[in-house]
Structure 1
Amino acid sequence: MAAGKGTRMKSPLPKVLHPLAGRPLLGHVMDTAQALQARRAVVVTGHGAMEVEAACSAYTGATAQFSISYVRQEPQLGTGHAVQQAVPVLADDGVVLILSGDVPLTQPATLLHLLAACAGTHLALLTLEMGNPSGYGRIVRRADGVVQAIVEHKDASAAQLAITEIYSGIMAVPAAQLKRWLARLDNKNAQGEYYLTDIVKFAVADGVAVVAHKINDAVQVAGVNSPVQLAELERAFQLREAHRLMEDGVRLADPARFDVRGDLFCAHGVSIDVNCVFEGQVNLGEGVSIGANCVIANAIIEAGAVIHPFTHIDGEALGVTVGAGALVGPFARLRPGARLGAEVHIGNFVEVKNATLAKGAKANHLAYLGDATVGERVNFGAGSITANYDGANKHRTTIEADVHVGSNCVLVAPITLGAGGTVGGGSTLTKDTPAGALSVARGRQVSIANWSRPQKAPKA
């Protein structure tokens, strides 16, 4: 169910598209449906329907694991009304698992237990024991513990309000039965809405067993209705990810100051300092060390590499690779297509884009390497750049092995520097250089003796 406006979010963005851990709330729910190997997902849309449906496009196409159908709920007249819209596309032979697009952190294992409780014949409810159940529907049981009904908070009696077992909003129900019960819903209640929870009393009346799978992890059934709740779930998600990584041997300086907004894979012996953000897909090899305040996206960092504090790595579609034993940062930037070999050094305020640096190459200070191929053991001086763009097209610079580029040089591409050569500091090179040569291209130094600086004219 993804039709709600989310008024309390105070945002033009549909509620289910607000990001948690780098992907929309609805994306987390769709991921869960994939993990359960559902054969079809039916997305009930309403507010911002076109945006919501477009966001689901990532789950369609040649690699899709299930088919997706969209139905519209306009106007929004309650949860029962939302599910009624899906009736025409539900196959009678299936089990319907009803999830909410703003409840992102339900675990697949929990839902598998719920589906097992359903067993294709029962109405199965996911419930939670809650110390403060205010606002939630209560699970009403008989004296023998059998579920009789769900009573919404606004319709509950004083005795029912004292019940602390609540309905999470998630249920599994045989499709054929669900269709019959949905047809019997009415809106004779305090909110004038069609409650999905009313099907429980229909199941009881029809002699269908109503079972409950009760959990004690409130985060799994927590919904998002406000920016405050979104932030609370963000921290809950990140803490869960942090604990998972630490259980696998990753050393986090502070699990409360750690963010994964994608997929992070860590080998043994990885250490991560505070305030680091990982986006897209990031792979950290054995013994990698990540300094404080780094942002790393779409990158492979191989064994033993050290990423010093305040480094920004973003591979986007092309990716970034940092070789084994490399040193990067602090305050370095690696952009898409950067490929650093083993033991490469990239120092402070150095930017690398679409460039390959072979083993042992170094650019330690204040440099730019764009669209370049850099050989082994090259030393690229402070303040030097590859001028790769002529205003219309990009061109490549090739620096062969063992070249030394002095400080404050400009290499105007396309250009090749021959192996073992040296470029004198302050040079602007526009032509290829031979191997082993010293190349200098700068204006001749002139000194004028007894020269006086211009003086300001006296004030009138």
Structure 2
Amino acid sequence: MNQAQTEKPATAIDVVVMAAGKGTRMRSVRPKVLHRLGGRALVARVLDTAARLGARHVVVVTGHGADAVEAAIDAEFAGMAPRFARQMPQLGTGHAVQQAVPALPDDGTVLVLSGDVPLIGEPALRALVAASGGERLALLTIEFEDPTGYGRVLRDAPTGQVLAIVEQKDATEAQRAVREVYSGVMAVPARQLKTWLARLDNRNAQAEYYLTDIVGFATTDGVPVVAHRIDDPVQVAGVNSPAQLAALERALQQRQAEALMADGVRLADPARFDLRGTLACGMDVEIDVNCVFEGAVVLGDGVRIGANCVIANARIEAGAVIHPFTHIDGEKAGATVGPDARVGPFARLRPGARLGAEVHIGNFVEVKNSTLADGAKANHLAYLGDATVGARVNYGAGSITANYDGANKHRTVIEDDVHVGSNCVLVAPVTIGAGGTVGGGSVVSKSTAPGALTVARARQTSFPNWPRPQKKQG
């Protein structure tokens, strides 16, 4: 939550995020707000939005799984973590906001959000805060063809003035026919909010303290109640079941795909595309089906990504081609694929992989914490770990760098223009001198001179007519 990058609001905004619910229908031991959408916890997405709004204070109300929720938020938002207020037991939405009251200054506008409504848009919230103006109760509403389960917005027929919100279980048949519903998001002056929260009771069908009852209090007290209506159901969609989570995931992915295509990215099928982080693309990028992008990924001009690739925390430079079924995950160290390089199919790049221009990494080759200079090639069935590989090196099939001695990692240096034959083991620490050749099947444990041919294997011995052992009978 980098407040330095956010716009300062005209009115101080203090955000309350309700994240105490159990989420029984998720059928999971994980707290509902920690389930992931597009690679991020639901509540993390809400907190991101609060940060973009320039919120002065953020209070997260926790309850079920509070320790896990608070730890996850602290870990992700280290240094800018919000305050926490615990709701134990959970006695309704009004009771939840009551727990946040001690952390809310009197001079701000309180924006109430839900930790399981992750895709609420910043423009809609700014418009809602503006509608409140620091002196009105503003509700975010939407019309549904089927409003089942939502609180209905009741208006005065002649004037259209909002009078109250009635919850589904407390509504009459006539009230249930109302299609305008309350989204669960409101902006309210803090001073009035505290007064109204103190007047809540639980005399209703669920014996809970409803936050929505403050609408009636506002009307009674002569405080204007306004509604900012939106028409995008995805923004107010909550997550209460795996099916709802999956539906929202697909809606998010479709929107991300459309945004990329609007910028010129060619997706073979936007319905078979997943972005679980950030993806920055240059011109003329092509992405085939069933690709997953995680963390921070940058694709340069003309990059082509084959089908069924998983790419995370990586930079792929202009003109590179990633063939199908390749797995790249740079994790914290990152991974880089140089210009016009070729990777895959079925290749794996791990953290610290740095490929130069026109490097070739072929099928079933794994690269970890290694640098390959321009034009180097490892085309088949090989492992390069903790290695520095020079320009134009040809690294043979089945060869490995033995970089781990059981306690420590060691580095292998392969200088420019070296040819390593098939099925070789380079036992680190070791340096293969420039222009050298390592004969196939060699185990090299000592550094070699530039230009040398190194063969380190036993002399072949054959025994004519050798009788192969037989199984004993009976």
Answer whether TM exceeds 0.5 for this pair.
Answer: yes
Of 27, 30, 51, which residue of structure 1 is paired with 2:68?
A: 51
What amino acid maps onto 1:311 in structure 2? T
Q: Please, what TM-score do these two structures have when normalized by structure 2?
A: 0.94
In structure 1, C-alpha distance between the alignment counterparts of 2:316 and 2:86, rounded to whole Å: 45
Change in CA separation of 1:426 and 1:157 when aligned onto 2, cut-off 3 Å: same
**1:161 and 2:176 correspond:** yes
What is the aligned partner in structure 2 of residue 103 from structure 1? 117
1:23-71 Cα deviation digits (max 9, x unpaired): 1111111011011110110111111111111111146544x3xx62211
Q: TM-score, normalised by structure 1?
A: 0.97
CA-CA distance at 1:262 after TM superposition: 1.4
For residues 454 and 43 of structure 1, the distance between their equivalents in structure 2, rounded to whole angstroms, comes to 73
Describe the superposition over 1:2-21 as per-residue Cα deviations: whole angstroms up to 9, x where unpaired. 11111111111111111111
Partners in 1 of 2:466 and 2:397 — Cα distance? 31
Secondary structure of 1:99's aligned partner: strand
Cα offsets for 1:141-198 (capped at 9, x unmatched):
1122111111111111121111101100000001011111111111111111111111
Counterpart check, 1:359 vs 2:336: no
For residues 317 and 222 of structure 1, the distance between their equivalents in structure 2, rounded to whole angstroms, comes to 33
Partner amino acid for 2:67?
M
Output the CA distance in 2 between the equivalents of 1:427 and 1:314: 31
For each residue in 1:288-334, what CA deviation from the matched residue of structure 2 results, as whole angstroms up to 9, or x when unmatched?
11111111111111111111111111111111111111100000000
> Superposed, which structure 2 residues align to 1:440-455 within 5 Å?
440-455=455-470
RMSD over aligned Cα atoms: 1.2
Q: Which residue of 1 aligns with 2:222?
A: 207
Report whether the alignment pairs 1:192 with 2:241: no
Written as runs of structure 1 = structure 2, the 5 A alignment for 1:385-424 is: 385-424=400-439
For 1:110 and 1:455, locate their aligned partners in 2 and report how far apart those are by CA, in whole Å. Answer: 80
The yes-or-no answer on 1:314 pairing with 2:336 is no
**What is the one-letter code of the residue matched to 1:15?**
K
Counterpart code for 1:352: V
- The equivalent residue for 2:282 is 267
SS of the residue corresponding to residue 270 of structure 2 reads coil
| CA distance in structure 1 between the aligned counterparts of 2:238 and 2:196, rounded to whole angstroms | 26
Task: Tell me the residue number matched to 1:14.
Answer: 31
Alignment partners' CA distance in 2, 1:55 and 1:390 = 36
1:76 to 69, 75, 90: 90
5+ long unaligned stretches in structure 2: 1-17
Task: After TM superposition, give the deviation of residue 446 of structure 1 in Å.
Answer: 2.1
Letter in 2 for 1:107: G
**Distance across 2 between alignment mates of 1:36 and 1:130:** 27
Instruction: After TM superposition, give the deviation of residue 454 of structure 1 in Å.
Output: 3.5
Of residues 261, 264, 275, the one that matches 1:249 is 264
In structure 2, what is the Cα distance between the partners aligned to 1:312 and 1:68?
36
Paired amino acid for 1:427? S
Q: Which string of whole-angstrom CA distances, capped at 9 and with x for unpartnered residues, describes residues 64-103 of structure 1?
A: 3xx6221111111110111111111110110000000111
- Aligned match of 2:130 in 116, 136, 140? 116
Matched, 1:139 2:153: yes
User: Which residue of the other structure, out of 32, 41, 47, is the alignment partner of 1:24?
Assistant: 41
Correspondent of 1:375 among 382, 390, 413: 390
Secondary structure in 2 matching 1:154: helix
In structure 1, what is the Cα distance between the partners aligned to 2:287 and 2:371? 26
Aligned-partner Cα distance in 1 for 2:429–2:172: 81
Find the residue that maps to 2:246 and give its secondary structure.
helix
User: Which secondary structure state, in structure 2, belongs to the residue aligned with residue 225 of structure 1?
Assistant: coil
The separation in 2 between residues aligned to 1:187 and 1:453, in whole angstroms, is: 87
Q: Secondary structure at the match of 2:462?
A: coil
Give 2:453's aligned residue: 438
Task: State the Cα distance separating 1:449 from its structure 2 match.
Answer: 3.1
Which letter maps to 2:42? L
Residue type at the aligned position of 2:328: I
Secondary structure of 1:13's counterpart equals coil
**1:455 Cα offset (Å):** 3.9
Partner deviation per Cα, 1:400-435 (whole Å, 9 max, x = no partner): 000000111111111111111111111111111111
Q: What displacement does 1:227 show?
A: 1.1
Q: Secondary structure at the match of 2:140?
A: strand
1:42 aligns with 2:56: no
Corresponding residue of 2:307: 292
Q: How many Å separate the matches in 1 of 2:209 and 2:371? A: 62
- The alignment partner of 1:346 has SS state of strand
Question: Post-superposition shift, 1:234?
Answer: 1.1
Distance in 1 separating the partners of 2:431 and 2:75: 43
Distance 1:190 1:160 in 2: 15
Partner SS state of residue 85, structure 1: helix
